Chains A and B, each alone.
Chain A
């Protein structure tokens, strides 16, 4: 149960973030310079690898009780952020994430920016756009994979889930040479939020000494209950929602760190 949940949560979170990063890289490469954009991707992946290499052993060295509290706390705070945004989007209070529209916006911005060479990078704008896209979108997934995997003592499984998601999205992106607008990102974000919140509640509470009725089987109640509650909130907040403007992009890379 927990291994499957670990795989599903990390895989879905990674697909969502990889789709967003792909949109940014496609815009940088198409509008500017593919070589600089791909150098930015490589630099971003190296940065993420350094972060993971530094944090992985640190997380693994935390004693079990402390680990559950730390992991539970981080997952719960992350999960509630994901759920909050997913509920706001599903209820019409926030524009739905539209990769096609974000791509057009990024493309227009990239086409207007001036070209500047720095060192061996021919187009600094394309490089930094791709780099920021990969690092900012990847950092949260790295945290989710490390905390989930660390707590389950199965970081390799989390890495396989993350890696297969990135490979899948990259392969689809290469095949289509277009942003993956057909991926149901908004629904996937809701599912990830439900999983992170449920596991955050479970592990965080265990970390402060709570004994769950039914032990691990409590998750079989917690996950559907959280999902049901989220859907009820979507329905309640939908009633008071303004008419959403679907043409407004959810965010561009410049807004990622501010969202």
Chain B
């Protein structure tokens, strides 16, 4: 039973989060940053999520191309 629950959890983790959990975390942090900056400052916030993507994508690809140690 535990093994099945574990496999179920692993499937959904892999399905939603995928190969690189840092990307999902980065996306979540970018949303939090855009919300916080918009809530407490008058600085425009539209650039925050695209900027996060511009950093997250190449770093994730870079990690995947690095030889495993």
**Interface, chain A (partner B; CB < 8 A):** 69, 72-74, 76-77, 80-81, 83-84, 87-88, 91, 93-94, 139-140, 197, 201, 204-205, 207-213, 218, 222, 225-226, 229-230, 233, 236-237, 240-241, 257-259
Q: In whole angstroms, how far apart are the Cα atoms of A130 and B20 in the complex?
A: 28
Q: Considering only CB atoms, which chain B residue lies closest to A193 in the complex?
A: B57
Is A222 a contact of B57 with CB atoms below 8 Å? no
Task: Pick from B15, B23, B60: contact of A139, CB below 8 A.
Answer: B15
Q: In whole angstroms, how far apart are the Cα atoms of A236 and B19 in the complex?
A: 21
Q: Considering only CB atoms, which chain A residue lies closest to B35 in the complex?
A: A208
B38 vs chain A, min Cβ distance (A): 5
**Interface, chain B (partner A; CB < 8 A):** 11, 14-20, 23-24, 27-28, 31-32, 34-35, 38-39, 44-46, 48-50, 53-54, 56-58, 60-62, 64-65
Task: Pick from B19, B45, B61: contact of A205, CB below 8 A.
Answer: B45
Is A77 a contact of B23 with CB atoms below 8 Å? yes
Task: Pick from B35, B46, B48, B57: contact of A213, CB below 8 A.
Answer: B46
Is B46 a contact of A84 with CB atoms below 8 Å? no
Is B11 a contact of A88 with CB atoms below 8 Å? no
Is A208 a contact of B34 with CB atoms below 8 Å? yes
